[in-house]
Amino acid sequence: MVIIGENIHILSKKVSEAINNKDAKVIQELAKEQAAAGVDYIDLNIGPARKNPEIMAWLVETVQEVVDLPLSLDSTNPKAVEEGLKVAKWRALINSASGRTDSKEQMMPLAVKYDCDVVISVLNDQGIPADAEARAESIMDTVTYANELGIENERIWVDPIIMPVSVDQK
């Protein structure tokens, strides 16, 4: 089992304020706490980061100053992900690729260029497939695409996007 610490998330008020103020100490404390708890990766989630994709590079450098763990770069913005990949010391994990055409065409080449592992979700151009068969088909289409680019199966992590029981599923 691989444990990814996800406490550095833009939706957290504390993290959002630290990012906006470039308060490295807050981010570094969160990273050190997660490392001490035994995580294998530290996830840096900046959301879509449409305005400031370079913030990912700052986060990567800030965290790498205090922990020696690989990072999971979590953004749907390929520019932000690449900014982080450029400064990552260790093989990173691209977290937030999907079967959507734009994601496949922009995120997968980054995984090849920077020799990264990549998390692929079942999301496709039509949304989240409703049943298990459609989800499997969606993921296999995306894995095939990744393989064609040269990304080996061992470098691909699958996110099935498990929905709550309260959601109408088939």
How do residues 102-136 score in pLDDT, each as one tens digit? 999 999 999 999 999 999 999 999 999 988 899 99
Domain ranges of the chain: 1-81, 91-161
Q: Is pLDDT at 66 greater than 70 in this prediction?
A: yes
Residue 148's pLDDT is 98
Residue 34's pLDDT is 98
Q: Is pLDDT at 167 greater than 80 in this prediction?
A: no
Per cent of the chain over pLDDT 70 is 94
Q: How confident is the model at residue 46 (pLDDT cuts 50, 70, 90)?
A: very high
Per cent of the chain over pLDDT 90 is 86
Sheet order of strands, 156-159 included: 4-9, 41-45, 71-74, 93-98, 117-121, 156-159
SS3 string, the chain, reads: CCCEEEEEECCCHHHHHHHHCCCHHHHHHHHHHHHHCCCCEEEEECCCCCCCCCHHHHHHHHHHCCCCCCEEEECCCHHHHHHHHHHCCCCCEEEEEECCHHHHHHHHHHHHHCCCEEEEECCECCECCCCHHHHHHHHHHHHHHHHHHCCCHHHEEEECCCCCCCCCCC
Residue 170's pLDDT is 56
Pick the CATH number of 1-81 from 2.60.40, 1.10.10, 3.30.360, 3.30.110: 3.30.110
User: Considering the chain, what is the average pLDDT of its residues?
Assistant: 93
